[in-house]
Structure formats: C-alpha cells, structure tokens
A and B are shown apart, each in its own frame.
Chain A
C-alpha cells in the first residue's frame, strides 16, 4: 500500500524559510520512472505545481518560484523535503506531495492529505 504524508510547521512568519517533509511508504524513489512532486493550493484558489524530484535525482521547479525552492530526497528515510525561502502571505495554502509515473503519462497517482501552512506575523 502506497502512502504519503506531509509534515511541517502550520505557521511561519513572513521572510522565514518553510521546510516541508513528505514521508512515504510502499514504494522506492529509486524505482526507475517515478517522481515525487509538490503541489499547493491557496485558500479558494487553483492548484499550483511547485517542484518535482525524479528517481534519478533530477529536479524540476516552477519557473516563477525557482529561485526560492529546493527539493531533496533522503532515500534511506523514504522522505522528500521541500524548502521555500522568503515566505510571504501569498504562500499561505495547503501543500501536497504526490507520487507519479514520470516517463509516460506523468500524472500523480498517489497523494498525501496535504498540510496547511499559514504565513503570518
């Protein structure tokens, strides 16, 4: 059974750095073709893909936020970590991690429940 779970602070102050961890089970991020992505949803707004890390440690970022994002993995811990620097009120939202097959269909087959992050002083 594949599961993913996001964890991290519920509240961060403006200008701080957000660190979110996606802890997963039921698969290996070393498996050829897989990737773990981060997607967020501000309250009442659309879903926005942020970043993705591939099985071979290649990484992709949304261009508009690339300078603020870093995604890394710890294969031994079955974790993917997303850091976002210089947080602002507009970064408030629910952050999801999701697993997908990234060679052919590139959809996100399994998702975590998401974690709500509020940016406020």
Chain B
C-alpha cells in the first residue's frame, strides 16, 4: 500500500483553514490511519489516530476524517505554531508513511 499526500506544500496565513489530504493506493482500515506533526529539532508528535481520534493534548482545531482510501487532516484556524510538516501513516502488514505536506507561512 502506498500513501500519497497532497498538496506537497500549503502556503497559508495564520488564522486560515488548512486541509491536508492523504490517499491510499488501496482501501485501508481507518483504525490504522494516523497523522503526525514534524518540526525541526523537536520530537515528532502524534496528532490523530484511528483516522479521527485526537491524541492526548492535541488542540481541537485539529481534526481527522475519512475512510477507505481518502483521509483528511483539517486545521480549522492555523496558529503560528502549526507551521510544520505533516505526515500520514498507516499500518497494513507493516508501517508506512506518506511523503508529507509542508504547511508554510504565506
């Protein structure tokens, strides 16, 4: 199973809405779909697991949705600390990651 993420880069301003897409090459179980946030010099952070469940301590401006082959991470209002790279991840027979979406300040 291959994960594709789009767009590769998202240029937005603080306060705007970000919609990140993750598409699987074949249908996957939603329980195994997660999203992570990567920032330079910091430990990566789990944001969403099971496609739509926010991890502990994750602000409610982050939400995950989707099923089958199409999944979405939405950041309702971008905070300055949200500018980062986001990866989707799925477990099939092993652990696979998408190529990432960079959310940058416009």
Bound pair (A, B): yes
- A interface residue numbers (CB < 8 A to B): 4, 37, 39, 46-49, 52, 60, 62-63, 96, 98, 104-114
Q: Is the pair A107, B100 in contact by a Cβ cutoff of 8 Å?
A: no
Indicate with 1 or 0, residue by residue over B40-52, a CB within 8 angstroms of chain A CB atoms. 0111111001100
With both beta carbons as reference points, the residue of chain A lying nearest to B3 in the complex is identified as A46
* A52/B50 in contact, CB under 8 A: no
If A104-B31, A107-B34, A107-B89 touch, whether A49 touches B42 (CB-CB below 8 Å) is no
Interface size on B, residues (CB 8 A): 23
The interface centre, meaning the residue of A4, A47, A62 with most chain B CB atoms within 10 A of its CB, is A47
Do the beta carbons of A112 and B99 come within 8 Å of each other? Answer: no
- 25 A-B residue pairs with CB within 8 Å: A4-B43, A47-B87, A47-B97, A48-B97, A49-B94, A49-B96, A49-B97, A62-B94, A105-B31, A105-B32, A107-B32, A107-B89, A107-B91, A108-B46, A108-B89, A109-B49, A109-B55, A110-B43, A111-B43, A111-B44, A112-B43, A113-B41, A113-B43, A114-B43, A114-B44
Given the interface pairs A47-B87, A105-B34, A107-B34, the reply to whether A37 lies near B44 with Cβ below 8 Å is no
A106-B32 contact given A49-B96, A49-B97, A60-B94, CB 8 Å threshold: yes
Question: Contacts of B87 on A, CB cut-off 8 Å?
Answer: 47
CB distance from A103 to the nearest CB of B (A): 11
- Taken residue by residue from 81 to 106, chain B's Cβ proximity to chain A (1 for < 8 Å, 0 otherwise) reads as 00000010101001111111000000
